[in-house]
């Protein structure tokens, strides 16, 4: 019945029912976006994996088609796992994906569209040459850690290159393969990159970003105008980490500015500091941008997932580019999302005093888009932080009343009387005489149902608050809060399952739980229309 479906999203991608995980093989073909994803046609838990398929003209409204790739060959009888699309010469898409073969070994297969005149690319044909890459005694590849081929990139030598995620003992590895024809692949002696102690590298992604500006470039671009990004999904940590570096194509060597060895230090970056995994980018040459897609798992119990009949959503597709500092990426929800905005509410600038709570009325607060900007003139009142502390731990000690500058931000999915709420906020410290900004999403009070994972998430965010405004945007959608701090310099996605703050009973507030006042320089909020997530053709 409908109370079982309280947590379905109105504009974050999900199919009508069942389990979903990784986005696979995103591409644009003849003006249409194609999204494939890991899907269990038979239930709300992981298993029986096929590539489900949806198409879109705007990355917001989607139409489902029949699954594109499903077990049918000895090389994939036990599952069609993650992979990527590459547009080959003559605008011909090809998909490389991991098959689980009859021995339960992981191998790499290829599939092509049956009919290139069909803009929907409904039917995919597998090559009789599959598998194209497999673990052997000679190559010493671990047959249960060899998966998730990337999009190919073409070198100036005319050879295609791809990566396959792997591990050797506990060393995470991005194995490099090269091919002249995209069919016959040779494993390179040296991986493109590896790092000890990081465990299995799932869903690697390797792509260039312009040094300057927000435009994206083709995956094969390589010149003085670009830097390269290597992202891996660390199975051991269940987070997506990335490195920025230089790629020497002649030597096939990637030299990152910092190493993964520093995981959990301030130098290793994540796409998202909340629940977010197995992401993948593609180059949208229609709009000259690079788009990032990612999977968000549930925070509810498996029993609850089975009861509601589904599990997993995707984030709003994000444009991604290099920040002008060169030290990190910036992500921002695609502009097409703004077509869903309705009932614009705009509040005049005002100072939010210490302890003040300001209700934001006039929108559907369980299905909304909110942007708020703060101004901080000095850090006199900020608390001093002597030594670097794990931001996630600082965040979990931060949302109650504090002495100093913040916490301030938004209370979303708040129930009347605040029996339930999720707080997304900043707190500013004085660290070595300079401001240090903490960005948090605290789920600890989000639901009276304590069966959910209520972990608090957080990160430091590189915003110079004395010179620039400090902004927060939250995309609120029934059971997800996808937040962007510092105009996309950090994002935190959280899943929450309120029992009181549902539909019309959800309230939205701006709050300041510090002692010092902070100025809200702008506040814009909108209700969001329902997207057609499973629309008809």
Give the residue numbers marked as catalytic: 22
| Nearer to ligand DQQ among residue 48 and residue 532 (C-beta) | 48
Q: Which is nearer to ligand DQQ, 171 or 258 (CB)?
A: 171
Nearer to ligand DQQ, 148 or 420 (CB): 148
Q: 25 phi and psi, to 5 degrees?
A: 45, 40
> To the nearest whole angstrom, how small is the minimum distance from the Cβ of residue 72 to ligand DQQ?
17
Please give the backbone phi and psi of residue 304, each rounded to the nearest 5 degrees, phi first: -65, -35
Q: Is 303 helix (H, G, I), strand (E, B) or coil?
A: helix
| Distance (Å, whole) CA 495 – CA 446 | 9
Q: Which of 226, 215, 233 is nearest to 254 (CA)?
A: 226
Q: By C-beta, is 131 or 354 nearer to ligand DQQ? A: 131
Q: How far is the CB of 151 from ligand DQQ (least distance, A)?
A: 15
User: Which is closer to ligand DQQ, CB of 21 or CB of 474?
Assistant: 21
In the bound state with ligand DQQ, the residue whose beta carbon lies nearer, of 19 and 421, is 19
Q: How far from chain centre, in Å, is Cα 220? A: 22
| 125 CB neighbour count, 10 Å cutoff | 11
Question: Is residue 262 helix, strand or coil?
Answer: helix
Is the Cβ of residue 23 or residue 404 nearer to ligand DQQ in the bound state? Answer: 23
- Cβ atoms of 364 and 507 within 8 Å: the answer is no
Rounded Cα distance, 300 and 318, in Å: 25
Q: Are 59 and 33 in contact (CB under 8 A)?
A: yes
Residue 38 vs 222, nearer CB to ligand DQQ: 38
* DSSP result, 145-193: SEE-----EE-TTS-EEEEEEEEETTEEEEEEEEESSSSS-EE-SS-SE
Q: How far is the CB of 164 from ligand DQQ (least distance, A)?
A: 11
CB of 298 to ligand DQQ, least distance (A): 14
**β partners of residue 385:** none
Strands (E) located in 169-288 = 171-179, 186-187, 193-195, 201-210, 226-234, 239-248, 253-256, 269-270, 277-284
List % helix, strand, coil for the chain (3-state, nearest 5). Answer: 5, 45, 45
C-beta of residue 291 within 8 angstroms of C-beta of residue 438: no
- Please say whether the dihedral angle defined by the alpha carbons of residues 112, 26, 47 and 10, taken in this order, is positive or negative: negative
In the complex, least distance from residue 293 CB atom to ligand DQQ, rounded to whole angstroms: 13
Measured distance CA(441)–CA(439) in Å, rounded: 7
In the complex, the residues that contact ligand DQQ under the rule CB under 6 A are 21-22, 38, 49, 81-82, 98, 147-148, 202-203, 233, 277-278
Locate all alpha helices (DSSP H) within 263-402, ordered by sequence. 302-308, 391-396
Minimum CB separation of residue 80 from ligand DQQ in Å reads 9
Residue 108 CB, shortest distance to ligand DQQ, in Å, is: 11
Cα distance between residue 502 and residue 486, in whole Å: 28
Which runs of E-coded beta strand occur in 235-296?
Answer: 239-248, 253-256, 269-270, 277-284, 289-296
Smallest gap from residue 99 Cβ to ligand DQQ (A):
10
Nearer to ligand DQQ, 76 or 249 (CB): 76
As measured in angstroms, the least distance from the Cβ of 235 to ligand DQQ is: 7
């Amino acid at each position: 019945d409908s109370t079982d479906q309280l947590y379905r999203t109105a504009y974050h991608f999900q199919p009508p029912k069942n389990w979903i995980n990784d986005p696979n093989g995103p591409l644009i073909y003849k003006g249409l976006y194609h999204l494939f994803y890991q899907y269990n046609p038979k239930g709300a838990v992981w298993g029986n994996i096929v590539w489900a398929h949806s198409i879109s003209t705007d990355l917001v409204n989607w139409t489902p088609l029949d699954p594109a790739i499903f077990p049918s060959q000895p090389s994939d009888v036990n599952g069609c796992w993650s992979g990527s699309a590459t547009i080959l010469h003559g605008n011909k898409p090809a998909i490389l994906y991991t098959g689980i073969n009859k021995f339960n070994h992981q191998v790499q297969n290829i599939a092509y569209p049956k009919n290139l005149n069909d803009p929907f690319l409904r039917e995919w044909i597998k090559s009789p040459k599959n598998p194209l890459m497999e673990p052997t005694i000679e190559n010493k590849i671990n047959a249960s850690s060899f998966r998730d081929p990337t999009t190919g990139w073409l070198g100036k030598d005319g050879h295609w290159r791809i990566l396959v995620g792997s591990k050797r003992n506990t060393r995470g590895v991005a194995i490099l393969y090269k091919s002249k024809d995209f069919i016959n692949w040779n494993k390179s002696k040296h991986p493109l990159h590896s790092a000890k102690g990081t465990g299995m590298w799932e869903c690697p992604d390797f792509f260039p970003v312009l040094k300057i500006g927000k435009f994206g470039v083709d995956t094969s671009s390589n010149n003085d105008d670009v830097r390269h990004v290597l992202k891996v999904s660390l199975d051991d940590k269940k987070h997506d980490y990335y490195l920025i570096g230089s790629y020497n194509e002649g030597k096939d060597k990637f030299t990152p500015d910092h190493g993964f060895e520093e995981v959990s230090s301030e130098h290793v970056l994540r796409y998202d500091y909340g629940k977010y995994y197995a992401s993948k980018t593609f180059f949208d040459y229609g709009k000259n941008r690079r788009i990032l897609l990612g999977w968000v798992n549930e925070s509810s119990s498996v029993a609850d997932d089975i009861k509601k009949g589904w599990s997993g959503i995707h984030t709003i597709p994000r444009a991604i580019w290099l920040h002008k500092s060169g030290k990190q990426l910036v992500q921002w929800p695609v502009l097409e999302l703004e077509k869903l905005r309705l009932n614009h509410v705009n509040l005049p600038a005002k100072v939010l005093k210490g302890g003040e709570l300001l209700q934001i009325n006039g929108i559907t607060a369980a299905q909304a888009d909110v942007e708020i900007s703060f101004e901080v003139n000095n850090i006199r009142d900020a608390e001093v932080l002597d030594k670097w502390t794990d931001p996630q731990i600082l965040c979990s000690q931060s949302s109650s009343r504090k002495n100093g500058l913040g916490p301030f931000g938004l209370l979303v999915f708040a129930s009347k009387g605040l029996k339930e709420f999720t707080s997304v906020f900043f707190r500013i410290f004085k660290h070595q005489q300079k401001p240090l900004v903490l960005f948090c999403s605290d789920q600890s009070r989000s639901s009276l149902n304590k069966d959910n994972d209520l972990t608090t998430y957080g990160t430091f965010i590189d915003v110079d608050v004395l010179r620039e405004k400090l902004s927060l945007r939250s995309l609120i959608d029934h059971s997800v809060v996808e937040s962007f701090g510092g105009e996309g310099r950090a994002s935190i996605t959280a899943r929450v399952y309120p029992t009181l703050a549902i539909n019309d009973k959800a309230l939205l507030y701006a709050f300041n739980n510090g002692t010092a006042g902070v100025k809200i320089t702008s506040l814009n909020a909108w209700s969001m229309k329902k997207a057609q997530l499973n629309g008809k053709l």
